[in-house]
Structure 1
Amino acid sequence: MSIATLLEMAAEAMPDREAVVCGGLRLTYAGLLERSRRAAAQIVAAGAGYAGYLAVNGPAAPVTLFGAALAGVPYSPLNYRLTGEELSALLARIDPALLVCDPAYLKGVQAPAGVTPVDAASFPAPGEGLAEAVESAVAVQLFTSGTTGQPKAALLSHDNLMSYILGTVEFMAAEEDEATLVAAPPYHIAGVAGLLSSIYAGRKMVFLPNFDPKEWIRLTNEERITNAFVVPTMLQRIVEVLDSGAGAGVAPSLRAVAYGGGKAPLSVIERAMALFPGVDFTNAYGLTETSSTICLLGPDDHRAAAVSEQAEVRRRLGSVGRPLPSIELEVRDDHGHPAPPGVPGLIFVRGGQVAGEYREQGDLRDADGWFCTRDHGWLDDEGFLFLEGRADDVIVRGGENISPGEIEDVLLRHPAVRDAAVVGVPDVAWGEAVAAAVVLSAPVTTEELQAWVKASLRSSRAPQVVRVLDSLPYNETGKLLRRVVREILADAG
């Protein structure tokens, strides 16, 4: 079944319900399907093997996504923040393609002859729609962030995405007054999954082309937003604006906020819950290769953890919750065996939404369908998952494996620490030394922080290098750029 079916069902069941709002443009579900069919016809006429997207959030994103599905080619959104050289390399990998874009992002880009750019502002052109949808296996191709080496092209099939949507969203579940604020980047899996989920639920989508906390608050109030997804850095900036009094308060229409894409500091979550006492908060953990969310920390879990006096319950506010009912999840030790509660290891997942496939490397799932996420973490006695970072982030000090996540958690519990990042830096005697970058809300000495860590963990976990920064480097989807932190701390050492 094609993901285009989601839009076709919505357009048939609620043709006159508002689907898309962006600036002065307002589209119904019937109007969105009509535009998507015209987009499909344009993609086919261009002889494209891909439908690329190189622009900020806007109505052209869902039109291109569903147009590609109807035309039977993969939808491949690109990161408009990349350099001209990087974009040139990615365009060569989706040649031939129809590229729906903002022409400004093509400056300095060498596009192959087979890539046909069209302006997102005028896409699709007037004309007839596609007479009959074309079946295809791959629905979406997303390029990974490429923190090491060239970005990988992750492939998500129609079956993967449909498995996720049908397993997590109820058709027409949204009331007619519900609206979601779309702020996740279009080239991120959260952006793609958010479009599909909202359309199947029948929720109006209000697009925020470029994130700005004051504009986020203004649109939330003006369009009476009920649902929103943010990455942790967005949530932190919204909280800061509200606390500063620089913007208006958020309208009581807001009912649910989901966050994910990176680790959110507990102080930010707790402050957001205090600022929005009637809002349901959800922490969503997922990967590109798993078609988005595989674990959820739901609203009831947030409230229970926030008020509990039991340490093991309260710490769950820093977890990513429990696996979806459709997902099997295991934490495995160094020998590949399931680890008992409290013991960290690699996280493996299995389920219909799990793709684990790349264009260059093929399917990386094992014979039993298990996919290694390359994330480190552990489960508590009730099955709540706590993340400790990527496998590549593990610090090896004198032959001992040290997880940065456990040290960061301890540092973040210090009342003077607002944010923290721990990495390994070269050390002649031990191979690697533990180094920490911290953002402070009050003065504290290096010695005090080292003693704080030693009081909870073994002395080998205490950072030998501590550097105070004004802020930590995150990308636009909220992921900590550990490579940048490592460079900063290596220079400090």
Structure 2
Amino acid sequence: MNIALLLEMAAEAAPDRVGLVCDGKRWTYGELLSAARGAFELIVESDAQYVALLDESSEAALIAVFGAALAGVPYCPLNYRLPDADLAALLGRIAPALVIGDEERVIRVAGDQGHTIMAREEFAQKVQEIVPGEDTRETDAGEGVAIQLFTSGTTAAPKAAILRHSNLLGYILGTVEFASADEDDAALVVVPPYHIAGISALLSSIYAQRKIVMLPSFTPEAWLALVAEERITNAFVVPTMLARIVDAIERGTPAQVSSLRAVAYGGGKMPLEVIHKALELFPTSGFTNAYGLTETSSTVALLGPDEHRAALASDDPKVRARLTSVGKPIPTVELEIRGEDGQVLPVGEAGEIYVRGDQVSGEYKEKSALDAEGWFPTRDAGYMDEEGYLFLSGRADDVIVRGGENMSPGEIEDVLLTHPAIADACACAVPSIEWGEAVGVAVVTREGHEQPDEDELKELIRGRLRSSRVPERIAFVAELPYNEMGKLLRRKVKDVLAA
């Protein structure tokens, strides 16, 4: 099977239903399939080995992903926020490609690499003008590469993560019911097109036959306006987006959100204060925390709407603590917590998260990361409680090793965030002559509060955790560094603490 089948099924079942809204233009499912077939013709004519997108979310992203699938070449959306040198290096790794988007920039940084380059407007126009020929393609059995996404490369050169048609279909067919959306259902997509969450949002909404509404550039005001105008029923946000939406509502931005039945979030750690406020401000919305990775074709664990509301209402500390978890593994995925020796750890003990399932690729163009039994080491650290809820402790590489004792940055951060004057916190390892590594923390003071005393913060941690967790260095900063998906950039915090 090929992921193009998702669009073909939707267009055959409801060709006149609106499938996409972007910049005011509406596309039916029939029009989207016709455009994807036009893109197929363009791709074949160009002799491209990849289809790349260097642009914000638009109709070009949806048409390109299915056009590439029809043509049997990988779709490779690129991070348009990268510096020129980094972008040129990635473009060189996929040459020759059909590159859609920022024509001037691609010519400037990679004009000699043999790419076929089209502006978004030109691409969208041409795919509508082409009359597709007879479809004689042979659809592969699902082992071909559908998507290639470059990792963020925060600690090394970006790796090319490979997702095959079989991986993506394993996720969609296992989690989404075909044509399950009502005609009035609408999903607001604001995640960048080069992130797996953006791609999975397109595929799952197409298969459910839900209208996709794209917001190319996020602001909380624009997001709230689209929710009201298009009667949005489903949305996905990253934690920093939800924090800004909550702040905008509290500042008086109009918010007509009664249509919003489901809000999923993920991509980074959600501050407890933000989700508490969101649950109060969106009383009729069901919130879902979705945990997943590029290499797993998106979500592998979920904390669902009922669990959010139950945790918020409960007086039981264990139940309330579930708001800081990412829920339970989805039925189509196996998940284990393993120690350094590779052995499965008991309930409550932290280690590295391993996952296995049809949707799990664990594959890079450079090599496969799967073990002999198909398990993928996520490099995320975490533990499971006795009820099967998964709690993340950060990246496995982020663990602080002080005198041979492993410490989770997350447990230190959670304690710091209980202080009324602390708005955000990051704990990480700093060099120590005595211990090898010690705890360093960077904290952001909440607006309207005085900066707390360092000794006060140390006593807070000493009183809640062991004395070994008390930070050796504390830095007060205006804000912590996050990427566009809301992931905390600890390496940059380490640089601040080292200075």
**TM-score interval, smaller chain:** over 0.9
Separation in 1, partners of 2:434, 2:108: 46
**8 Å CA contact retained: 1:365, 1:371:** yes
**8 Å CA contact retained: 1:85, 1:108:** no
Separation in 2, partners of 1:370, 1:215: 41
| Unpaired segments ≥5 residues, structure 1 | none
Separation in 2, partners of 1:390, 1:112: 39
**8 Å CA contact retained: 1:421, 1:436:** yes
Residue type matched to 2:38 in 1? R
| Equivalent in 449, 456, 468 of residue 448 of structure 1 | 456
Match of 1:461 in 2: 469
Deviation at 1:108, TM superposition (A): 4.3
Deviation at 1:352, TM superposition (A): 0.3
Separation in 2, partners of 1:116, 1:68: 14
The yes-or-no answer on 1:230 pairing with 2:242 is no
Partner of 1:109, secondary structure, is: helix
Residue type matched to 1:337 in 2? Q
Q: Deviations over 1:324-359 (max 9, x none)?
A: 000000001222211111110010000000000000
Deviation at 1:209, TM superposition (A): 0.6
| Unpaired segments ≥5 residues, structure 2 | none
CA-based RMSD: 1.2
The yes-or-no answer on 1:29 pairing with 2:37 is no
Matched ranges for 1:90-129 at <5 A: 90-106=90-106, 108-124=108-124, 125=126, 126-129=129-132
| Equivalent in 269, 273, 282 of residue 267 of structure 1 | 273
Deviation at 1:255, TM superposition (A): 1.0
Match of 1:489 in 2: 497
Closer, same or farther in 2 for the Cα pair 1:131/1:102, shift >3 Å? farther
Residue type matched to 2:134 in 1? A
Q: Deviations over 1:205-245 (max 9, x none)?
A: 11111111111111111111111000000000111111111
Separation in 1, partners of 2:432, 2:105: 42
Residue type matched to 2:359 in 1? Q
Separation in 1, partners of 2:363, 2:430: 32
Matched ranges for 1:32-431 at <5 A: 32-106=32-106, 108-124=108-124, 125=126, 126-129=129-132, 131-132=134-135, 133-136=137-140, 137-245=144-252, 247-361=253-367, 363-431=368-436
Q: Deviations over 1:433-454 (max 9, x none)?
A: 2111112223322111111111
Residue type matched to 1:135 in 2? T
Deviation at 1:431, TM superposition (A): 1.8
Separation in 2, partners of 1:51, 1:156: 14
Deviation at 1:123, TM superposition (A): 1.2
Match of 1:9 in 2: 9
Separation in 2, partners of 1:180, 1:319: 25
Separation in 2, partners of 1:174, 1:320: 25
Separation in 1, partners of 2:270, 2:56: 24
Q: Deviations over 1:352-394 (max 9, x none)?
A: 0000000012x21111111100110000000100001111111
Separation in 1, partners of 2:288, 2:462: 32
TM-score by length of 1: 0.97
**8 Å CA contact retained: 2:443, 2:474:** yes
Separation in 1, partners of 2:340, 2:464: 24
Q: Deviations over 1:235-286 (max 9, x none)?
A: 00111111111x2113311111100000010000001111101100000000
**8 Å CA contact retained: 1:393, 1:404:** yes
Q: Deviations over 1:442-467 (max 9, x none)?
A: 33221111111111211011112122
Partner of 1:123, secondary structure, is: helix
Separation in 2, partners of 1:360, 1:336: 24
Residue type matched to 1:66 in 2? F
TM-score by length of 2: 0.96
Match of 2:440 in 1: 435
Residue type matched to 1:406 in 2? E
Deviation at 1:140, TM superposition (A): 0.2
Q: Deviations over 1:92-122 (max 9, x none)?
A: 1111110111225437412443211111122
Separation in 1, partners of 2:139, 2:148: 16
Q: Deviations over 1:114-152 (max 9, x none)?
A: 211111122141212253245351000000000111100
Residue type matched to 1:166 in 2? L
Closer, same or farther in 2 for the Cα pair 1:139/1:250, shift >3 Å? same
Separation in 1, partners of 2:246, 2:431: 37
Separation in 2, partners of 1:378, 1:39: 45
Separation in 2, partners of 1:470, 1:170: 45
Deviation at 1:396, TM superposition (A): 1.8
Deviation at 1:412, TM superposition (A): 1.8
Residue type matched to 1:65 in 2? V
Closer, same or farther in 2 for the Cα pair 1:236/1:130, shift >3 Å? farther
**8 Å CA contact retained: 2:75, 2:147:** yes
Residue type matched to 1:320 in 2? V
Closer, same or farther in 2 for the Cα pair 1:401/1:425, shift >3 Å? same
**8 Å CA contact retained: 2:106, 2:117:** no
Closer, same or farther in 2 for the Cα pair 1:107/1:459, shift >3 Å? farther
Q: Deviations over 1:144-180 (max 9, x none)?
A: 0001111000000000000000011011111111111
Separation in 2, partners of 1:139, 1:387: 29
Partner of 2:412, secondary structure, is: helix
Separation in 2, partners of 1:111, 1:150: 22
Moved more, 164-173 or 97-106: 97-106
Moved more, 305-314 or 129-138: 129-138
Separation in 2, partners of 1:289, 1:268: 28
Separation in 2, partners of 1:329, 1:384: 11
Q: Deviations over 1:39-75 (max 9, x none)?
A: 0110000001111111001100000000000000000
- For these two proteins, the number of residue pairs brought into alignment is 489
